């Protein structure tokens, strides 16, 4: 089954022009790493189950996944990866439009599709599915089953495109941000982690990224972190492209917060960055989520972990009315032509991730 993408009317912004002329862009600038707002065929969710770390709050976290699924299938296709498709169908069948759901039966360690899902490069008229190694964020957690998901998805034709084996390089989708125009944004703390690609230095890693994704440049953020984060500061927890000339980022205004100094330095570095045309980026400050603690540990709640889909932006909320509302206002400014939809993600951060972390979007023609 195919999908027809309804593109929003453009108001003239670079972001909307990129959406509207996405098909033409394939011919004009190929190959390239699309931005998240590039027209999508669908999104992958790797579903929680009793053999994952979610077992102790499974009904609670499954409710969050159902809410995410409900919003996705109203706009595009959804690929659910799970060892038990029948159980998931029984759980979601009355609440989710099943016509837009596809399943891949597959054993999994966990649910972080952002980091074990394929990263898609656009090559000519067809997508290329890059299968990088996932090693549990630098050998912190078991990941052997998750590391096989992309290959199995391609072999089962759940994902369509040219498969490219990149398993000799560790790379998680949450560690990179593309503006779709040849700029990649990443963090030094994660990308230079010795337990990922420790045999390579910064120059070698940058050259690998540039050649693999056909980039013009890589912007490295050297500051910023979230307490409780297992990823060594994934970029999608800190700063996100909203268009080729705009970046939304987490700003801490409380001088007594442990994050204040690191995020202040991050903001300063973002202000020093320039677009490909030499202009300062339009910086949009997201609020710092209020402190959420479990078992004496601060959890990594962040509003930067939003997901862009066709015609909408799904963003995490944390039952903090003022902060949740402010984050929505900032995202509405960043994406004026899209619907901004909050999803309660308090369950997700109990396992140290959020909304973007459990999803992976795929461009046109990948999910059918």
Q: Model confidence over 336-346: pLDDT tens digits?
A: 999 999 999 99
Q: What is the tens place of the pLDDT at every residue in 307-360? A: 999 999 999 999 999 999 999 999 999 999 999 999 999 999 999 999 999 999
Q: What is the tens place of the pLDDT at every residue in 38-96? A: 999 999 999 999 999 999 999 999 999 999 999 999 999 999 999 999 999 999 988 99
pLDDT at 26: 43
pLDDT at 30: 77
pLDDT at 1 over 60: no
Over residues 227-256, the mean pLDDT reads 97
Confidence of residue 135 (pLDDT cuts 50, 70, 90): very high
pLDDT at 5 over 80: no
Lowest mean pLDDT among 67-76, 124-133, 244-253: 124-133
pLDDT at 25: 45
157 or 11: which carries more pLDDT confidence? 157
pLDDT at 29: 61
Domain extents in the chain: 14-363
pLDDT at 340: 98
The tokens for 181 are 């125009």
pLDDT at 22 over 60: no
pLDDT at 255: 97
pLDDT at 125: 77
Q: What is the tens place of the pLDDT at every residue in 264-295? A: 999 999 999 999 999 999 999 999 999 999 99
pLDDT at 100 over 70: yes
Q: Any idea which architecture 14-363 has in CATH?
A: 5-stranded Propeller (3.75)
pLDDT at 234 over 50: yes
pLDDT at 6: 35
Confidence of residue 21 (pLDDT cuts 50, 70, 90): very low
Over residues 86-111, the mean pLDDT reads 96
């Amino acid at each position: 089954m195919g999908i027809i993408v309804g593109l929003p009317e453009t108001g003239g912004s670079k972001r909307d022009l990129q959406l509207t002329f996405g098909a033409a862009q394939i011919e004009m600038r190929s190959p390239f790493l699309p931005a998240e707002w590039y027209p999508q065929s669908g999104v992958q969710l790797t579903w929680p189950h009793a053999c994952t770390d979610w077992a102790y709050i499974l009904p609670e976290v499954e409710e969050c996944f159902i809410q995410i699924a409900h919003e996705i299938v109203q706009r595009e296709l959804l690929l659910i990866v799970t060892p038990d498709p029948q159980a998931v169908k029984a759980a979601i069948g009355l609440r989710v439009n099943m016509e837009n759901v596809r399943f891949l039966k597959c054993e999994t360690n966990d649910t972080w599709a952002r980091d074990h899902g394929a990263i898609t490069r656009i090559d000519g008229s067809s997508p290329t599915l890059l299968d990088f190694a996932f090693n549990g964020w630098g050998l912190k957690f078991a990941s052997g089953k998750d590391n096989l998901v992309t290959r199995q998805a391609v072999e089962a034709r759940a994902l369509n495109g040219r498969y490219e084996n990149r398993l000799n390089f560790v790379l998680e989708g949450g560690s990179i941000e593309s503006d779709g125009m040849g700029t990649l944004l990443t963090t030094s703390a994660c990308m230079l982690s010795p337990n990922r690609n420790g045999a390579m230095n910064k120059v070698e890693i940058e050259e690998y990224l540039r050649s693999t994704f056909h980039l013009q440049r890589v912007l490295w953020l050297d500051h910023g972190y979230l307490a409780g984060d297992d990823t060594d500061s994934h970029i999608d927890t800190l700063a996100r492209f909203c268009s080729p000339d705009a970046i939304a980022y987490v700003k801490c205004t409380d001088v007594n917060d442990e994050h204040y100094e690191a995020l202040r330095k991050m903001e300063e570095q973002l202000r020093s960055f320039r677009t490909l045309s030499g202009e300062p980026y339009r910086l949009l400050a997201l609020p710092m989520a209020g402190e959420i603690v479990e078992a004496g540990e601060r959890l990594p709640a962040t509003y930067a972990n939003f997901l862009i889909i066709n015609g909408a932006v799904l963003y995490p909320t944390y039952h903090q009315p003022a902060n949740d509302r402010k984050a929505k206002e900032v995202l509405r400014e960043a994406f004026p032509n899209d619907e901004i939809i909050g999803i309660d993600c308090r369950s997700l951060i109990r396992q140290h991730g959020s909304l973007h972390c459990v999803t992976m979007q795929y461009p046109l023609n990948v999910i059918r």
